[in-house]
Amino acid sequence: MSETLHIYTRVSTSAQEDAGTSLESQKDLGIKKSKELGFEYRLWNEGGQSSSREDLENRPALVELLSEVESGNVKHLFVFNPDRLSRNDVTWNVIRLKLVKNDVTLHTSAGVYPLSDPMNKLLLGIMSEISSYDNQIRAERSRLGKLEKVRKGFWLGGPPPFGYSIDKKRLVENKAESKWIRFIFQSYLNGRTIREIKQELLSNGVMTRRNKPVWSLGSIEKVLGNTHYSGYYRFKDGKSGDQVRVECPSIMPVSLFRDVQKMREGRTRQTRIKESNQKHFYLLRDFLVCGHCGARYSGRLYKAQYRSVYYCPRLERNYVNEGTGRVEKCSNRRYLKIDETDQLVWDTVLEVLSHSNLFKEEVKKQVLGESITHKDHAEEIKKLKRKLKVVEKDVADITNSIVNLETDKILKRRDRHELDRILRNVEDARIDLEAQREQLKVQLHGLESQNRWTDWLSKFGDRLGAMVDFTPQERHEFLKGVIDHIVVKTLDKQSHELVIRFKIPYVNDSLVWRDANRKSLGYDLKDGDFGIGVDIDTKKKIPEIPIKTMA
């Protein structure tokens, strides 16, 4: 397939175009050149247009041709002379830059025109940098322009929050939606739950911002925390990180918004307290996990039938996602009798520990007082907590300082450049303090975990021989020291299994003498597995399930 010579023709006046001579001669010379090169040709006729302007608005043929150049479809271009492309120096250099970048050979009636001699390369390099700089300046001006519009209350883009519409690029109240926003806030303040509000919206056919009939619980929570409805929001500039407080129409009394925020905070605290209060005690409820859907098992007492069971609550919890299409399924229908399951797990744990050399070694160290520095740990924990308290106060103080400085910046109370410098320094200090805080928290968690294990050994180490007499609460606390979790699996209709996963690899660990004939040289302990399986129906242990690492 032969190459194509693209022939561009133009005259400066319409009179020359009507005469036909100049355009025809350019065309003829171009066709002649294509034959000399053995190329096909394609004609681009601009007709009579001026070439002295800096832009190309009056040159549609040339614009289309340059688009083909940038697409890589043009490798050879013919013009009668270079001024056919442009007589304006700025425009000509821009065109020349495009030709060089795309490896285009420029042919003229006088021969090949040199685009890449040293001087041209220098000029093209300068033009390229100027073009890049110009693009950056335009982008920065655009960003600053958008930021200034936001400060003046214009909506930057995207769908508005539910309750608002866009009019002349500003947020305005949407009367049809805002009444439902007030309904959501007032209902919450009156004590209705999020789920009750969701059902009310559904029954009244209130569509979400994305035109969906079902509101998720999360979206209603977001509505309740959205500051737009009280008359302002914060816009964050993606490049500088600057936050701008933007005023917008409020669609409810500020007192209503404030009261709801206080109630939300109170409900969150009550939920945490409620979760810690259990009506009935179940030994294994903190440990049992469904092997099919991952849900934590629950316990249930049937007083009339004098029985109690553990079960997967997935089906009854699916009401949370009702109507959202995110209902999770679980194939595990196995109910476990609480008394039998508790005893099976307890017996299995005692059996594993009674044969575990690792466990015996820990108990021995506790009884003999070896390697246990509980007092030292307690002192170190106190020191870390004091340091953490100081750092957290410093973080809070610096955060307040940043807010005050940002306020001064927005209100133009001080020099902007000075404030930017101070803000950078203060922000760096805040980041350093937060890094210190995270490091202190990690150290504190490690020491507290170590102390909990020491406390556990102190409490149970000298009573292990009497474990069969532990109360249910003591058994629960004991299990918390050694068990991570227990997976419940339904293998088939007749076969069910528990997989007990320990925090330390106690299962089938071993003690190896360094010299069997000279035991005075000591021994080494080898880790076992983390888990052991137990058939619920036959009570048979399944040690062939190795769990080398914690899941």
- The answer on pLDDT for 137 being more than 90 is no
Using the 3D structure, point to which of 417, 447, 466 is the last residue of a domain.
466
Which residues sit opposite 336 in a β-bridge?
310
Number of domains forming the structure of the chain: 4
Which residues sit opposite 106 in a β-bridge?
77, 113
In the prediction, which pLDDT does 497 show? 85
Please provide the size of the chain in residues. Answer: 551
Contact 515, 525 (CB under 8 A): no
- The answer to whether residues 364 and 458 belong to one domain is yes
- Predicted TM-score of the model (pTM): 0.38
Give me the amino acid identity at 198.
K
Side by side, which strands form the sheet with 76-78? 40-48, 4-11, 76-78, 105-108, 111-113
Which residues sit opposite 41 in a β-bridge?
5
- The answer to whether residues 100 and 8 belong to one domain is yes
44's CB contacts (< 8 A; 6+ apart) are: 6, 7, 8, 9, 61, 62, 64, 65
Contact 390, 440 (CB under 8 A): no
Q: Does 548 reside within a domain? A: no
Q: How far is CA 128 from CA 87, 100, 141, in A?
A: 20, 11, 20
Q: Does 143 reside within a domain? A: no
CATH code of the domain covering residue 98: 3.40.50.1390
Q: Does 461 reside within a domain? A: yes
Contact 510, 525 (CB under 8 A): yes
d(CA 503, CA 480): 9
In the prediction, which pLDDT does 468 show? 60
85-120 tens-digit pLDDT? 777 767 777 788 888 888 888 888 888 877 766 666
- The answer to whether residues 345 and 483 belong to one domain is yes
Mean of pLDDT values over 394-406: 73
d(CA 348, CA 339): 14
- The answer to whether residues 45 and 102 belong to one domain is yes
Token match 């098992």: residue?
297
Token match 């890049």: residue?
132
Greater model confidence, 16 or 391: 391
CATH code of the domain covering residue 236: 3.90.1750.20
In the prediction, which pLDDT does 14 show? 47
- The answer on pLDDT for 182 being more than 90 is yes
Closest CA to 202 of 189, 181, 192, 216: 216
Among 223-232, 380-389, 425-434, 471-480, which is the least confidently predicted range? 425-434
Contact 452, 473 (CB under 8 A): no
- The answer to whether residues 361 and 348 belong to one domain is no
Contact 385, 444 (CB under 8 A): yes
Which residues sit opposite 512 in a β-bridge?
524
d(CA 10, CA 16): 10
- The answer to whether residues 386 and 440 belong to one domain is yes
Closest CA to 5 of 82, 78, 112, 113: 78
Q: Does 410 reside within a domain? A: yes
In the prediction, which pLDDT does 91 show? 77
Q: Can you read off the two tokens belonging to residue 246? A: 């933007």
In the prediction, which pLDDT does 537 show? 74
335's CB contacts (< 8 A; 6+ apart) are: 309, 310, 311
Alpha helix stretches (DSSP H) within 374-415: 374-410
Q: Does 516 reside within a domain? A: yes
Percent of the chain with pLDDT over 90: 10
In the prediction, which pLDDT does 469 show? 65
- The answer on pLDDT for 443 being more than 50 is yes
Greater model confidence, 483 or 15: 483
- The answer to whether residues 443 and 486 belong to one domain is no
Would you give the DSSP letter of residue 433?
Answer: H
- The answer on pLDDT for 30 being more than 60 is yes
- The answer to whether residues 244 and 168 belong to one domain is yes
Q: How confident is the model at residue 172 (pLDDT cuts 50, 70, 90)?
A: very high
- The answer to whether residues 361 and 342 belong to one domain is no
- The answer on pLDDT for 72 being more than 60 is yes
Token match 């106690």: residue?
506
- The answer on pLDDT for 543 being more than 60 is no
Q: Given its phi and psi angles, is residue 211 left (phi above 0), alpha (psi -120 to 50 degrees) or beta? A: left
Q: Can you read off the two tokens belonging to residue 10? A: 């133009």
Q: Does 138 reside within a domain? A: no
In the prediction, which pLDDT does 116 show? 64
- The answer on pLDDT for 173 being more than 90 is yes
Mean of pLDDT values over 496-516: 85
Q: Does 549 reside within a domain? A: no
d(CA 349, CA 506): 10
Mean pLDDT of the residues in the chain? 77
- The answer to whether residues 249 and 384 belong to one domain is no
Ranked by mean pLDDT, which of 34-38, 392-396, 461-465, 509-513 comes out on top? 34-38
- The answer to whether residues 345 and 481 belong to one domain is yes
Q: Does 79 reside within a domain? A: yes
- The answer to whether residues 348 and 477 belong to one domain is yes
Domain that residue 176 falls in? 164-276
d(CA 551, CA 547): 8
Nearest 10 degrees: Cα torsion 257, 259, 262, 267: -100
Closest CA to 525 of 399, 295, 364, 416: 364
d(CA 24, CA 9): 9
Contact 217, 320 (CB under 8 A): yes
Closest CA to 240 of 434, 392, 409: 409
Greater model confidence, 316 or 210: 210
Closest CA to 264 of 230, 235, 229, 222: 222
Using the 3D structure, point to which of 252, 276, 300 is the last residue of a domain.
276
Side by side, which strands form the sheet with 298-302? 298-302, 307-311, 336-337
Bridge-based pairing state of the strands 105-108 and 111-113: antiparallel
In the prediction, which pLDDT does 165 show? 93
Would you give the DSSP letter of residue 160?
Answer: P
In the prediction, which pLDDT does 547 show? 40
Using the 3D structure, point to which of 76, 91, 116 is the last residue of a domain.
116
Integer-rounded Cα radius of gyration of the chain: 39
Greater model confidence, 123 or 464: 123
- The answer on pLDDT for 209 being more than 80 is yes
Q: How far is CA 76 from CA 41, 67, 98, in A?
A: 10, 14, 13
In the prediction, which pLDDT does 375 show? 56
d(CA 335, CA 327): 21
